[in-house]
């Protein structure tokens, strides 16, 4: 099955949160349903980071904030040669970190 | 509410310190006790962020109060990330203002250089959202990089403006014997020449090496008390006149407009209101320049300059020593250094020195009103303080 990142939709006001919250930021309600977040969106900002925590085996990574279709925002890694603010991107859920004990999965974005 | 005054101050050099963390915390406390003429205190607050993780020591306040032979005074460790220092001062303010205690010692201390830079960066990165940011390799410099890129696009801030902050703060640190970095730098050396790209490599595009503060060890201390007790210290009377604090979303991507630092705006407004002063009354300020962009943006959010015009005031020299509102006369986090949990107390130490007229070659003439902004996380928890000299 294709992996997805889950958003948390308030059952009262329908606001979608990512990451999850105990109380809704918009209306204060405490019940949510999960839904797979869309994978395409627009790049809001980005950086290329050259000083990584010791458990990364690469020397640098791209990072960015993406506004997904529907408006939910997410931070993820970028595999894009020359990123630009506002460009269309599409994401995939991949392993983004291994700290020696666990594999962590998250969004990696590519040029759409 | 009782009025709260500063009776004594102390500080270590911000640098790499080869002493146990407890002794680092205790040294400026000893100096502050001497400075105040006091022998006993009612309570001790110790500000620290990472002792459990980095130094394998928890319950730091219990160790510090005993090392200082101040038992049985009460003692607590305050952890609020990089804003731990100002948070501990705020706790001390509440204790004295409420009448719970008469004399409170606040010492902030950090020893991050016990580990290498990558591990220290990772320890600080644990401030980020564990699932939505940290797992991707997001660090504080990377959040600053993404923030800087947006700010450049929206307001026309350039890499040269960022370098101007670094040059100014390195210049100020040359006048501060306790500063971590005593290195004169020039725009030519870090931005305006072909060699500059080698001298000043990229850390988190568009942020370069000289846009980032160093990782420092260090400690600073303030003794807070009532007017009656402070008057006996013999120093010019400095009142902690305003405290303010505000929070913002944990994950930076959750902010409606990520170029706004709403927690800075909110905390500053409270600290000014309580003190009954306006941003334009401030004679000297210490702002949390962990990254050069933050000095520019905080100078706008606290109300010294209009939004989007901080870099223009910097260009005009308004924030230099001798300018209209000198910012980071100590050298700031950029060059004085950033011993994370101690930083907010270090900022307050500089302001008290300035208001007492004890700042030596970096003295702002006749400074009466001072202000600090201590910035936790990437702007998710901010504490601002206003100090006023009386008489």
| CATH, domain A38-112, list 3.40.50.11540, 3.40.50.620, 2.40.50.840, 3.40.640.10 | 2.40.50.840
Domain chopping of chain A, boundaries: 1-37, 38-112
> What is the per-residue pLDDT across B186-197, written as a single tens digit (0 to 9) for each?
999 999 999 999
Q: What is the DSSP code (8-state) at residue B220?
A: E
User: Cα separations (Å) of B383 from A9, A21, A75, B343, B375?
Assistant: 32, 24, 26, 12, 7
For A107, name the nearest residue in chain B, comparing CA atoms only: B136
- In this predicted model, what pLDDT tens digit does every residue of B294-316 receive, in sequence order? 999 999 999 999 999 999 999 99
Domains and CATH numbers, chain B: 5-116+215-231 (3.40.47.10)
- On average, the pLDDT of chain B sits at 97
Residue of B nearest to A99 (CA): B135
Q: List pLDDT tens digits, range B122-135.
A: 899 999 999 999 99
Whether residue B202 contacts residue A48, with contact meaning beta carbons closer than 8 Å, is answered with yes
Tell me what percent of the residues of chain B surpass a pLDDT of 70.
100
Q: Is B159 an 8 Å CB contact of chain A?
A: no
Give the neighbor-by-neighbor strand order of the sheet with A32-36.
A16-17, A6-10, A32-36
**With 90 as the cut, is the pLDDT of residue B158 above it?**
yes
Q: Which residues of B touch A85 (CB under 8 A)?
A: 149-150, 153
Helix axes B292-301, B159-173, angle to 10 degrees: 90
Give the whole-angstrom CA distance, residue B59 versus residue B41: 19
Percent of chain A with pLDDT over 70: 99
How would residue B117 be classed by pLDDT, with cut points 50, 70 and 90? confident
For the ranges A42-56, B36-50, B150-164, B259-273, the lowest mean pLDDT is seen at A42-56
Give the confidence band of A54 by pLDDT, cuts at 50, 70, 90. Answer: confident
The predicted pLDDT at position B253 comes to 97
Q: Which among B372, B364, B245 has a CA at the least distance from the CA of B298? A: B372
Give the pLDDT band of residue A53 (cuts 50, 70, 90).
confident
Q: What is the pLDDT of residues B8-35, one digit of tens each?
A: 999 999 999 999 999 999 999 999 999 9
Is A63 at the interface with chain B, CB within 8 A? yes
Q: What is the mean pLDDT of residues B161-186?
A: 98
A87 touches chain B (CB under 8 A): no
Name residues whose C-beta falls within 8 Å of residue B31's C-beta, 6 or more positions apart in sequence.
B8, B9, B10, B11, B221
Q: How confident is the model at residue B383 (pLDDT cuts 50, 70, 90)?
A: very high
Mutation for testing the A interface, residue in B133, B197, B205 having most A CBs under 10 Å:
B205
**Shortest Cα distance, chain A CAs vs residue B80, angstroms:** 21
Of B118, B133, B137, the CB nearest to A61: B137
Q: Give the gap in angstroms from C-alpha A33 to the nearest C-alpha of chain B.
A: 18
Cβ neighbours for A63, distance < 8 A, ≥ 6 positions apart: A46, A47, A48, A49, A75, A76, A77, A78, B136, B137, B138, B142, B145, B146
pLDDT at position B196 is 94
Which residues are within 8 A (CB) of B25 and not within 5 positions of it... i.e. 6 or more apart? B46, B48, B60, B64, B67, B107, B108, B109, B219
Residues of B in contact with A106 (CB under 8 A): 135-136
CB contacts, 8 Å: B150 with chain A: 44-45, 85
Distance in Å, alpha carbon of B247 to nearest chain A alpha carbon: 14
Q: Phi and psi dihedrals of B385, rounded to 5?
A: -130, 140
Cβ <8 Å between B150 and A44: yes
Nearest C-alpha of chain A: how many angstroms from B380?
15
DSSP B229-282: HHHTT-SPEEEEEEEEEEE--SSGGGSSSTT--HHHHHHHHHHHHHHT--GGG-
* Other CB atoms within 10 A of residue A14 CB: 11
| Residue B251 forms contact with A (CB below 8 Å) | yes
Check CB contact of A54 with chain B, cutoff 8 Å. Answer: yes
CA B12 distance to own-chain centroid: 15
Q: Give the pLDDT score at B278.
A: 98
Say what the pLDDT of residue B199 is. 96
DSSP element (H, E) containing B152: helix B140-155
Contact B142 A18 (CB under 8 A): no
Please check whether residue B105 is in contact with residue B45, taking contact to mean a CB–CB distance below 8 angstroms.
yes
Verify whether the Cβ–Cβ distance B132 to A50 is below 8 Å.
no
pLDDT above 80 for A1: no
* Cβ–Cβ gap B253/A54 under 8 Å: no
pLDDT digits (tens, 9 = 90+) for B279-292: 999 999 999 999 99
How far apart CA B371 and CA B298 sit, in angstroms, is 12
Verify whether the Cβ–Cβ distance A48 to B205 is below 8 Å.
yes
B54 close contact with A: CB closer than 8 A: no
Residue of A nearest to B144 (CA): A47
The residue-averaged pLDDT of B82-101 equals 98
At B90, the pLDDT band (50, 70, 90 cuts) reads very high
- Please compute the mean of the pLDDT values over residues A27-50 and round it to a whole number: 98
* pLDDT band for position A16 (cuts 50, 70, 90): very high
> Which residue in the set A19, A55, A97 is minimally distant from B132, CB to CB?
A19
Q: Which two tokens stand for residue B209?
A: 């090496």
Per-residue confidence (pLDDT) for residue A55, from 0 to 100: 86
If we measure between CA atoms, which residue out of A48, A45, A56, A51 comes closest to residue A89? A45
Nearest to B203 among A19, A50, A54 (CB): A50
Is residue B57 within 8 Å of B341, Cβ to Cβ?
Answer: no
B147 at interface of A, judged by CB pairs closer than 8 A:
yes
DSSP per-residue codes, A29-84: ---EEEEEPPSEEEEEEEEEE-S--TT--SS-EEEEEEEETTS-EEEEEE--SS--
The reply to whether B154 touches chain A by the CB within 8 Å rule is no
Contact B150 A46 (CB under 8 A): no
Q: Which of B121, B124, B136 to mutate to test the interface with A (most CBs of A within 10 A)?
A: B136
The pLDDT of residue A71 is: 96
The answer to whether residue A85 neighbours chain B at the CB level (below 8 Å) is yes
Which of B136, B142, B150 lies nearest to residue A106, judging by beta carbons?
B136
Mean pLDDT of B343-352: 98
Q: Which residue in A55, A56, A75 is closest to B253 by CB distance?
A: A75
Residue A99: pLDDT above 90? no
């Amino acid at each position: 099955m294709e992996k997805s990142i889950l958003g948390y939709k308030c059952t009262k006001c329908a606001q979608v949160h990512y990451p999850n919250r105990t109380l809704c930021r918009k209306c204060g309600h405490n019940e949510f349903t999960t839904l797979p977040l869309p994978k395409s969106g627009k790049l809001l900002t980005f950086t290329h980071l050259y000083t990584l925590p010791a458990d990364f085996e690469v020397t640098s990574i791209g990072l960015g904030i993406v506004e997904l279709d529907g408006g939910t925002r997410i931070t993820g890694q970028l595999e894009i040669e020359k990123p630009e603010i506002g460009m269309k991107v599409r994401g995939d859920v991949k392993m983004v970190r291994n700290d020696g004990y666990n594999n962590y999965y998250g969004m990696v974005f590519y040029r759409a | 509410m009782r009025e709260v005054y500063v009776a004594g101050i102390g500080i270590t050099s911000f640098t790499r310190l080869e002493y146990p963390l407890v002794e680092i915390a205790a040294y400026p406390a000893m100096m502050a006790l001497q400075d105040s003429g006091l022998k006993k205190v009612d309570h001790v607050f110790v500000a620290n962020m990472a002792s459990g993780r980095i130094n394998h020591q928890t319950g730091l306040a219990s160790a510090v109060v005993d090392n200082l032979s101040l038992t049985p005074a009460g003692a607590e460790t305050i952890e609020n990330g990089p804003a731990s220092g100002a948070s501990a001062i705020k706790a001390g303010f509440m204790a004295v203002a409420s009448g719970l205690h008469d004399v409170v010692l606040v010492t902030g201390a950090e020893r991050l250089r016990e580990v290498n830079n990558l591990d220290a960066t990772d320890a600080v990165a644990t401030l980020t959202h564990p699932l939505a940011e940290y797992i991707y390799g997001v660090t504080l410099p990377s959040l600053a990089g993404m923030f800087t890129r947006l700010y450049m696009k929206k307001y026309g801030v350039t890499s040269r403006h960022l370098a101007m902050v670094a040059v100014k703060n390195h210049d100020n640190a040359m006048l501060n014997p306790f500063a971590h970095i005593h290195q004169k730098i020039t725009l030519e050396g870090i931005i305006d020449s072909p060699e500059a790209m080698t001298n000043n490599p990229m850390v988190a595009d568009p942020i370069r090496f000289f846009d980032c503060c160093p990782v420092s060890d260090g400690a600073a201390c303030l003794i807070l008390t009532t007017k009656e007790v402070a008057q006996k210290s013999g120093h010019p009377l400095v009142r902690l006149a305003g405290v303010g604090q505000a929070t913002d979303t944990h994950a930076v991507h959750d902010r409606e407009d990520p170029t706004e630092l709403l927690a800075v705006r909110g905390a500053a407004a409270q600290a000014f209101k309580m003190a009954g002063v306006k941003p334009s009354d401030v004679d000297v300020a210490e702002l949390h320049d962990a990254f050069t962009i933050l000095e520019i943006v905080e100078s706008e959010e606290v109300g010294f300059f209009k939004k989007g015009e901080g870099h223009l005031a910097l260009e005009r020299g308004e924030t230099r020593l001798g300018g209209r509102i000198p910012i980071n006369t100590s050298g700031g986090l950029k060059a004085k250094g950033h011993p994370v949990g101690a930083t907010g107390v270090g900022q307050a130490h500089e302001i008290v020195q300035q208001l007492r007229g004890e700042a030596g070659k970096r003295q702002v003439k006749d400074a009466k009103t001072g202000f600090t902004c201590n910035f936790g996380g990437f702007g998710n928890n901010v504490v601002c303080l206003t100090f006023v000299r009386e008489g």
